Amino acid sequence: MNASSGAAVARAERLHGSVVASRRPSCSKFPGFYAKPANEIRLPRSILKMNGGRISCSTSNNGWKGLTYKDAGVDIDAGTELVRRIAKMTPGIGGFGGLYPLGDSYLVASTDGVGTKLKLAFETGIHGTIGIDLVAMSVNDIVTSGAKPLFFLDYFGTSHLDVDLAETVIKGIVDGCKQSDCVLLGGETAEMPDFYAKGEYDLSGFAVGIVKKDSLIDGKNIKSGDILIGFPSSGVHSNGFSLVRRVLSQSNLSLSDQLPGHGGGPFTLGEALMAPTVIYVKQVLDIISKGGVKGIAHITGGGFTDNIPRVFPPGLGANIFRNSWDVPAVFKWLQEAGGIDDGEMRRTFNMGIGLVAVVTPEASERILAEYDSVYRIGVVVNGEGVKFV
């Protein structure tokens, strides 16, 4: 069966010889992944406050402090520190995909997994779309360089092989490859008795794409006044699920309950959380082909706060317009149920924007006219960091 040799836990593209590579924090720690979670004490919800279209949370009257990603076992700062140390050994890192020079082009590669979202797949029995998540996490990374994905390989590890289940998962991988117009080239299936819990499995994968050197999107020409265009997400995508699961454990809801605040028809919390990651490849490559795109950020672990600045030259930052897009109900529920403050939400989750393109003002007008589903979410400014205005 197809399954890859990519390592999902630490997103790493290393520099060997002439390889231009990158390494970034993926925050792909899996606390409690191979063990049943211990019984957890339910804590009182924080008080929900509404400020226009924005939700913020304060602590409850008994002084309980809202949840953080670190509380759930994932330390973003530790991942950043590891990258800083690796940078001393491997200069030139920091992009979303590793670049390997090949003639007048670059091969662009990225590797990832789907994290503890797999735990929810086991609980909900939704296995048909988790493969789309797997492909999306890598191909969305390499398209930030303007690269067209060429091929994908996957890794499927399990204690005892359930052929029907594995086939369902891999059908999702095939679907993801079709959506990104790349080939599932092969991979690896590993059957390891007693290593995984019964009925569970692990996934990782990697993608390779190609871009002409003179067409590389690298952010070097970004300047103050350029516009940030946001591409909507389908929900949580495949990051932050350790915190999602912690919130779920202390809430009064189960995965089969209706999602609070959802304005459409019946929609369970499990369905909302398992919505597959959007694959942006075809739309982004089409926009790039028309010119004016200077930089692209994939909003994964680290959210807005850590990912957007990675595409800017030194001395530049971004002002994000708070109410410029619709925040999906699942994030509003997470913030209320977990008492999570605004800063933690923005650093952990995509908040409804899965990818951000930095474009010229002229290109922004064209893109907004051609695509109804994108938003003008901010502007590049002098001074580093991301501010919400």
pLDDT at 94: 56
Q: Residue 20: which pLDDT band, with cuts at 50, 70 and 90?
A: very low
> Side chain identity at 210, as an amino acid letter?
I
Distance CA 110, CA 95 (A): 10
Ramachandran angles phi, psi of 243, nearest 5°: -70, -40
Q: Residue 2: which pLDDT band, with cuts at 50, 70 and 90?
A: very low
Which of residues 180 and 45 earns the better pLDDT score? 180
Give the percent of the chain with pLDDT over 70.
Answer: 77
Q: Is the dihedral of CA 365, 146, 310, 118 positive or negative?
A: positive
Instruction: Provide the 8-state DSSP code for 12.
Output: B
Distance CA 368, CA 377 (A): 11
pLDDT tens per residue across span 300-316: 988 999 999 999 999 99
Does residue 21 have a pLDDT over 90? no
Does residue 173 have a pLDDT over 60? yes
Distance CA 275, CA 278 (A): 9
Buried b (16+ CB within 10 A) or exposed e, 226-243: bbbbbbbbbbbbbbbbbb
Does residue 206 have a pLDDT over 80? yes
Ramachandran angles phi, psi of 187, nearest 5°: 160, -150
Mean pLDDT: which of 61-65, 234-238, 264-268 is highest?
234-238
pLDDT at 261: 86
The answer to whether 191 and 148 are in contact (CB under 8 A) is: no
Does residue 156 have a pLDDT over 50? yes
85 token code pair: 């140390």
pLDDT at 330: 96
pLDDT at 93: 60
Q: Is the pTM of this model over 0.75?
A: yes
CA 201 centroid distance within chain: 20
pLDDT tens per residue across span 318-341: 999 999 999 999 999 999 999 999
**Host H or E run for residue 20:** none
Residues in the chain: 389
354 token code pair: 């899965």
> Side chain identity at 169, as an amino acid letter?
V
**213-226 average pLDDT score:** 97
CA 313 centroid distance within chain: 22
Does residue 194 have a pLDDT over 60? yes
pLDDT tens per residue across span 57-105: 333 334 445 777 666 666 667 766 776 676 677 655 656 899 999 999 9
In the sheet with 353-359, reading across from the earlier edge strand, the strands are 293-298, 353-359, 227-232, 375-382, 316-320, 385-388
pLDDT at 111: 94
pLDDT at 137: 97
pLDDT tens per residue across span 278-292: 999 999 999 999 999
Of 201, 140, 147, nearest to 3 by C-alpha is 201
Q: Residue 252: which pLDDT band, with cuts at 50, 70 and 90?
A: confident
pLDDT at 50: 30
- Hey, how many other C-beta atoms are within 10 angstroms of the C-beta on 92? 12
